[in-house]
C-alpha cells in the first residue's frame, strides 16, 4: 500500500498523520536533507520497501531499500527526487530527475498495482505504487508543460546571447545590445512559464540560463563602447578635430556611466575609475583649444626674428581653431569668448605683419649693401628673400586684415625698384669709382663728417652727445643695456626741456618694442618732454607705431641739425 501526501502551499515540516511512524520520520529527513532552500515540495509519495526500477537503454536495475528503510518520492517545483533508503549500503540512493530533462510522464496500470513512469532521452524510471496517481500525474504534466516551454525559451536565450557576444567581439555595439534585449525577452518568457510552479523553479531557471549573464553582457558592451570612443577622442584631439573629439568623449562618458549603473557584483572591472578618467579628460578637452592657443602665443612672444614670425603664424592657427569651436550652436562645449578671440587674432596678424616686414627690411638693407659693393648676385638673393618675407605677411593680411594689407604695397614696390635697378646701366664715374649712394649721406652738422650707417649704437650715441653738448645742452649717457633710452639731453634756456633719446646704430634694427619701451619711459619719467628715436634706417612699421605713441622719429643728421638750430620738432615729425 502506498501513501500520497499533498503538501499544501509547498509547506515543509510534518508530512501528515496518514503514514506510520517510520514513514513520518523518513519523509521529514528527506525534506530536510535533500531539498534546496528555494525548492518547494508539492507531493510526497512512499511505497514502503518496493523501491523503483531503472531502465537504462535496455539494462534494467531494481533499486530497493535496505531493511528498516523506505522509498520516498518527492515532487517539487523543479524536479522529481527519488530517495531509496540504505540502498547503497549505509547511504541512501538518491536519484535526481529535473523536469527540464523529462520528455514524458504516464501511469501504467496492472491488475495488482500502478506504476508512475518518467521518461528522459536516455532513461526510464518506474515507481511501483498502489493508490490513486491521478493528482500526481496531473501535476507532473503541468510541471512538464511549463518546463518544456521554458526549455525552448532557454535555448532561444542562449542562442541570442551567443550572437550578442559575437556582435560585441565585432564592436557592433548597438546590434549586441539588441541581441541582449532579445535574450532578456526569451528569459522573461521562460520566467512567465515557471512562476506558477514556485520560487524553486525560478531559482533553477536562474542557474540554467545565467540571469546575471544579460547584465554582464550589457555592462561589457557599454564598457567596450566607452573605451573605444575614448581612444577615438584621443586620436581626434591629436588631429585637432576638437568637435569630433568632444562627440567621442561624450559618447565614452555616457557609455561608461551606463556600464557603472548596470555592473553586476560578479563583474570585477574598475568601471568607476575609467568613468572618472573620461570625465576628467572631457573637462580638459573643453579647455584645451584656448589653452593651446594661449601657450603658442606666449611662446611666440619670447622669440625674435624669423622664429617669432613663424611661431606667430602657428599661434594664429591655434586661435583660429579655438574660435571655430567656441561659437555657434556648439560653442558652449568649449571655453572662450569669440569676440575676445577675434581681437587676439587681429593682434597676432599685426604681429605677423611686423615680424615679416622687419625681416624684409633687414634683407633690403643687406641687399643694398651688396648692391653698393657691386655684388649684384647676392643683392638679388637678398631682395628675393625680402619678397618671400612680404609674401608670408600678405598671405595673412589679405584674408584677415585688408586695411593692413594695403600697407604692404609700398614694400613690394621697393623690392621691385631694387630688382629693376640691378638691371639698369651702371652709375660708376668715368674713372670706375662708384657714385655715392643716395641713401648714405655724410653727417656734417657741428663740423662732424661721418657715414651714419657705419656707426654702431655706442659710437652714434657718443657722437650725438658731443654734438648736443657743443650746442649748449646738458647730456647724460645711459650705459645700461636694459634701459629703454641711451641719452638724456636737457636745457633750461630759453625754456626748460628734457629729451629722452633711444639710439640704434648699424649693429641693430629698431623695432616696435623699442618704440613701446621708450614711449612708456617718457610717460613715466618726471620732467621728460619728448621721446626721440634715432637710427640711420627706420622700418615703416616702427615709424607708424612711433607716430601712434607720440614719439619723434629722426635720422641722426636731422637731429643734430635741429639741436644746432636750437629748436625742438613736433611729435610725430620725421626726416
The pLDDT tens digits for 341-376 are: 999 999 999 999 999 999 999 899 888 888 888 899
**4-13, 175-184, 355-364, 497-506: which has the minimum mean pLDDT?**
4-13
Provide φ and ψ at 410, rounded to 5°.
Answer: -60, -30
Give the residue, 83 or 508, on which the prediction is more confident.
83
pLDDT of the residue at 448: 35
Q: Are 3-144 and 352-422 the same fold in CATH? A: no
| Cell matching residue 274 | 575609467
Give the residue, 8 or 266, on which the prediction is more confident.
266
Whether the CA torsion 487, 498, 452, 357 is positive or negative: it is positive
Domain 352-422 CATH assignment equals 3.30.300 = no
Q: Which residues lie closer than 8 Å to 251 by C-beta, 6 or more apart?
A: 225, 226, 229
Question: Is the pLDDT at 70 greater than 90, yes or no?
Answer: no
How far, rounded to the nearest angstrom, does the alpha carbon of residue 36 sit from its chain's CA centroid?
A: 52
Domain 443-564 CATH assignment equals 3.30.70.20 = no
Mean pLDDT score of the chain: 78
pLDDT of the residue at 17: 30
pLDDT of the residue at 312: 95
The pLDDT tens digits for 525-565 are: 655 666 777 776 777 777 777 877 777 776 655 554 554 44
Measure the CA–CA gap between 237 and 259, rounded to whole angstroms: 24
How far, rounded to the nearest angstrom, does the alpha carbon of residue 383 sit from its chain's CA centroid?
A: 47
335, 290 in Cβ contact below 8 A? Answer: yes
Domain boundaries, the chain: 3-144, 352-422, 443-564
**297-301, 488-492, 497-501, 505-509: which has the minimum mean pLDDT?**
505-509
**137-141, 373-377, 465-469: which has the minimum mean pLDDT?**
465-469
CATH of domain 3-144: 2.30.29.30
Measure the CA–CA gap between 407 and 189, rounded to whole angstroms: 81
139, 43 in Cβ contact below 8 A? Answer: yes
Confidence of residue 505 (pLDDT cuts 50, 70, 90): low
Sheet holding 104-109, edge to edge: 59-63, 52-56, 123-129, 114-119, 104-109
Question: Is the pLDDT at 18 greater than 50, yes or no?
Answer: no
pLDDT of the residue at 347: 94
Say what percent of the chain tops pLDDT 90.
21
Measure the CA–CA gap between 110 and 102, rounded to whole angstroms: 23
86, 69 in Cβ contact below 8 A? Answer: yes
532, 440 in Cβ contact below 8 A? Answer: no
Give the residue, 227 or 476, on which the prediction is more confident.
227
Q: Give me the residues paired with residue 474 across strands.
A: 490
**435-449, 519-533, 559-573: which has the minimum mean pLDDT?**
435-449
Confidence of residue 329 (pLDDT cuts 50, 70, 90): low
Confidence of residue 435 (pLDDT cuts 50, 70, 90): very low
Scored b (16 or more CB within 10 A) or e, 244-277 reads ebbbbbbbbbbbbbbbbebbeeebeeebeebbee
Measure the CA–CA gap between 314 and 320, rounded to whole angstroms: 10
What mean pLDDT is predicted for residues 478-482?
Answer: 71
Give the residue, 430 or 140, on which the prediction is more confident.
140
Question: Is the pLDDT at 495 greater than 60, yes or no?
Answer: no
Please state the three-class secondary structure of 28-72 as a single string: HHHHHHHCCCCCCEEEEEECCCCCEEEEECCEEEEECCCCCCCEE
| Cell matching residue 70 | 523506505
Amino acid at each position: 500500500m502506498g501513501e500520497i501526501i499533498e503538501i499544501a502551499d509547498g509547506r515543509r515540516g510534518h508530512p501528515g498523520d496518514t503514514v506510520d511512524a517510520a514513514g513520518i520520520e523518513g519523509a521529514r529527513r528527506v525534506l530536510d536533507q535533500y531539498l534546496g532552500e528555494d525548492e518547494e515540495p508539492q507531493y510526497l509519495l512512499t511505497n514502503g520497501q518496493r523501491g523503483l526500477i531503472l531502465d537504462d537503454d535496455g539494462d534494467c536495475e531494481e533499486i530497493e531499500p535496505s531493511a528498516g528503510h523506505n522509498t520516498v518520492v518527492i515532487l517539487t517545483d523543479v524536479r522529481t527526487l527519488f530517495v531509496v533508503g540504505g540502498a547503497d549500503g549505509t547511504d541512501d540512493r538518491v536519484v535526481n530527475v529535473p523536469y527540464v530533462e523529462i520528455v514524458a510522464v504516464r501511469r501504467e496500470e496492472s491488475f495488482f498495482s500502478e506504476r508512475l513512469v518518467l521518461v528522459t532521452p536516455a532513461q526510464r524510471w518506474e515507481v511501483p505504487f498502489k493508490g490513486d496517481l491521478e493528482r500526481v500525474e496531473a501535476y507532473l504534466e503541468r510541471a512538464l508543460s511549463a518546463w518544456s516551454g521554458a526549455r525552448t525559451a532557454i535555448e532561444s536565450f542562449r542562442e541570442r546571447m551567443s550572437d550578442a557576444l559575437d556582435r560585441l567581439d565585432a564592436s557592433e555595439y548597438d546590434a549586441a545590445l539588441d541581441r541582449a534585449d532579445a535574450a532578456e525577452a526569451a528569459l522573461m518568457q521562460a520566467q512567465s512559464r515557471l512562476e506558477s510552479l514556485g520560487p524553486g523553479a525560478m531559482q533553477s531557471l536562474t542557474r540554467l540560463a545565467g540571469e546575471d549573464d544579460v547584465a554582464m553582457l550589457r555592462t561589457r558592451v557599454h564598457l567596450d563602447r566607452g573605451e573605444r570612443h575614448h581612444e577615438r577622442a584621443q586620436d581626434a584631439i591629436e588631429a585637432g578635430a576638437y568637435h569630433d573629439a568632444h562627440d567621442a568623449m561624450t559618447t565614452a562618458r555616457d557609455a561608461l556611466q551606463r556600464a557603472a549603473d548596470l555592473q553586476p557584483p560578479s563583474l570585477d572591472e574598475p568601471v568607476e575609475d575609467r568613468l572618472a578618467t573620461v570625465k576628467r579628460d572631457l573637462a580638459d578637452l573643453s579647455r584645451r583649444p584656448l589653452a593651446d592657443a594661449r601657450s603658442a602665443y606666449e611662446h611666440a612672444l619670447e622669440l625674435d626674428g624669423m622664429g617669432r614670425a613663424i611661431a606667430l603664424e602657428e599661434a594664429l592657427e591655434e586661435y583660429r581653431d579655438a574660435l571655430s569651436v567656441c561659437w555657434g550652436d556648439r560653442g558652449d562645449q568649449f571655453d572662450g569668448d569669440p569676440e575676445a578671440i577675434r581681437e587676439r587674432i587681429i593682434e597676432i596678424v599685426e604681429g605677423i605683419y611686423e615680424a615679416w616686414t622687419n625681416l624684409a627690411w633687414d634683407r633690403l638693407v643687406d641687399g643694398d649693401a651688396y648692391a653698393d659693393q657691386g655684388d649684384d648676385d647676392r643683392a638679388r638673393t637678398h631682395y628675393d628673400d625680402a619678397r618671400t618675407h612680404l609674401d608670408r605677411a600678405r598671405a595673412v593680411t589679405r584674408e584677415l586684415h585688408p586695411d593692413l594689407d594695403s600697407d604692404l604695397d609700398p614694400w613690394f614696390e621697393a623690392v621691385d625698384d631694387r630688382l629693376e635697378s640691378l638691371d639698369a646701366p651702371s652709375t660708376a664715374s668715368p674713372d670706375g669709382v662708384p657714385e655715392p649712394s643716395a641713401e648714405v649721406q655724410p653727417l656734417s652738422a657741428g663740423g662732424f663728417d661721418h657715414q651714419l650707417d657705419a656707426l654702431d649704437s655706442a659710437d652714434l650715441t657718443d657722437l650725438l652727445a658731443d654734438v648736443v653738448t657743443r650746442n649748449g645742452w646738458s647730456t647724460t649717457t645711459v650705459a645700461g643695456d636694459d634701459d629703454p633710452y641711451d641719452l638724456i639731453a636737457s636745457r633750461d634756456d630759453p625754456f626748460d626741456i628734457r629729451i629722452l633719446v633711444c639710439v640704434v646704430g648699424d649693429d641693430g634694427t629698431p623695432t616696435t618694442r623699442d618704440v613701446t619701451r621708450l614711449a612708456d619711459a617718457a610717460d613715466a619719467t618726471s620732467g621728460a618732454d619728448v621721446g626721440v628715436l634715432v637710427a640711420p634706417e627706420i622700418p615703416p612699421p616702427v615709424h607708424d607705431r612711433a607716430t601712434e605713441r607720440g614719439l619723434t622719429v629722426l635720422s641722426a643728421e636731422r637731429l643734430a641739425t635741429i639741436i644746432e638750430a636750437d629748436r625742438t620738432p613736433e611729435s610725430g615729425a620725421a626726416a
